[in-house]
Chains A and B, each alone.
Chain A
């Protein structure tokens, strides 16, 4: 895989367990894309000595691990405000994609507390991947990967690049998942022919993404279901069929929609039993 837009990858680490696992995922992508990997930590004012040491030690450890697998890697320690420093580094070094870990989103903080990762997503000028670790026993294994797709054709090529790289690294089996969102009462009334039509409709919606995957020589299976809540269907699918990873795209929802029905991506991040890779394309 040489024809790809990701020549330079940045992974932000802070010495925590989650950040280290995210760094290991980024190493896998760097290997798949033959990219240069920058492992970056930012020493900010509010960090104590222990945190600084832990972050610096974390970089050394990641570099040691990555060098063993032949990745072109460089450790960078920045100082200042986290978002500002990373953003500046991304611009100066023409980084193509940023990796970061995201923690468990708290219910009560949903509308008010912005995490570093969510600020990075809106702040950095390049594409970004946020990784949420839920099941460390299945992390970096990713044999069974669930890829929920809305089916609007948006960024299908970019998404297929990421899914393809991952499938290549882990020899994963990919399931492309689409949910036809219907009211609960409508689902109860659905007759067999209507169900068939809904599946056909879903297949049409995800066809452009399936073509992108085929173009990369990947054979993915597809699953179309009907449900009243997309997030419930995704979590349920991930739980019942023991997926190792979910690859999800971010969605844009206005403040009114978030207040009324919440953000499904946040809810999936919070409740899913396996790791989640959240893709945010610019």
Chain B
């Protein structure tokens, strides 16, 4: 059953539908089995993981280590100021983690709100009557009516077409609208067939009527979306640099601690006195202010970008964007709007 090769009657038969569409009972049954006509997003991290990630990066762990070391110092030799130092460092970790989480959470929420603003309706025929329903509720077997300017809600086999042209730029990048018809195309693949219109594209001219045969992630657009959701983001340059700095600082701090401890032993000071001194050296070498400084400057930069209509979901993306040297991007519909206009006319 290559749907592009079937006649109208065969299409109805294959999808158990008719000119008057599915009845409500059958449509609701199919909605349960095929699921909502939605592109599922890449799995999001849970709230707990989103919070935990700001407390488990290498620098935060280094600061926690320094704090615990200071508290141990307080336990071994009270009233030397280690308690305040330990609490202050731990405070820095919590304030910084909380602030970074809040910034990213706020951006994520704004992004979700934006998406909620964009639901769209589609005209279908059910039980012989035309109805406007949310695009997420269409199912295979529904008869969809397409008119100029409409976005195509799912993969559709056209049964009637009147001078219809669709913009496939979102799928193929092709900026020119392509003509579609309702005749049979037995010798071409589904994706190349002229009697098929795909989810995510839009009708730029004419009108048509067709049967929906694939929805959600089963559509060709869904397959492309799956490709993008499978891309795993690596560490940003800033994160890599922070890890490098943290490792260096840890090595220096611990190294200096050991050197001073050995030097103390060499000049004949007591073990505990030496140990406390070495702890002090280790803690003093940890730059407590670095983490909040980085977070705050990134937050400020993201606020400035928000003022210029750029929503930053991940703080470290600010620096990543700043260190970009080459951008490879799809142009039409991404950077440009796929709309040509006459700016000047030169004659002779």
Binding site for B on A (CB under 8 A): 16-18, 20, 24, 103-104, 134-141, 143, 232, 235-236, 239-240, 242, 271, 273-274
Contact = CB atoms under 8 A, between A and B. Distances in A.
A49 to B, nearest CB: 13
B218 interface: yes
Contacts of B213: 135-137
A273 B141 CA distance: 17
Given A17-B141, A20-B16, A104-B35, A135 B226 contact: no
Nearest to B6: A137
B29 A236 contact: no
Interface string B17-30: 00000000010011
Interface in B123-147: 140-141
B218 A17 contact: no
A140 B1 contact: yes
Nearest to B157: A137
Nearest to A238: B223
Contacts of B214: 135-138
Contacts of A104: 32-35
B218 A274 contact: yes
Interface bracket on B:
20 to 34
Contacts of B217: 271, 273
A236 B226 contact: yes
Contacts of A232: 230
Contacts of A239: 222-223, 226-227
Contacts of A271: 217
B33 A273 contact: no
Contact of A141 (B2, B223, B230): B2
Ranked 7 nearest A-B pairs via Cβ:
A137-B213, A140-B1, A137-B3, A103-B33, A273-B218, A239-B223, A17-B16
13 contacts: A17-B16, A17-B30, A104-B34, A135-B213, A136-B15, A136-B213, A137-B157, A138-B1, A138-B214, A139-B14, A140-B14, A141-B1, A236-B226
Contacts of A236: 226, 230
A274 B222 CA distance: 12
B191 interface: yes
A240 B227 contact: yes
A16 B218 contact: no
Given A135-B218, A141-B1, A18 B33 contact: yes
A136 B223 CA distance: 15
Contacts of A240: 223, 226-227
Given A17-B15, A141-B1, A136 B140 contact: yes
A13 B167 CA distance: 41
B181 interface: no
Contacts of A18: 33
A24 B14 CA distance: 10
Nearest to A102: B33
Contacts of A20: 16
A231 to B, nearest CB: 13
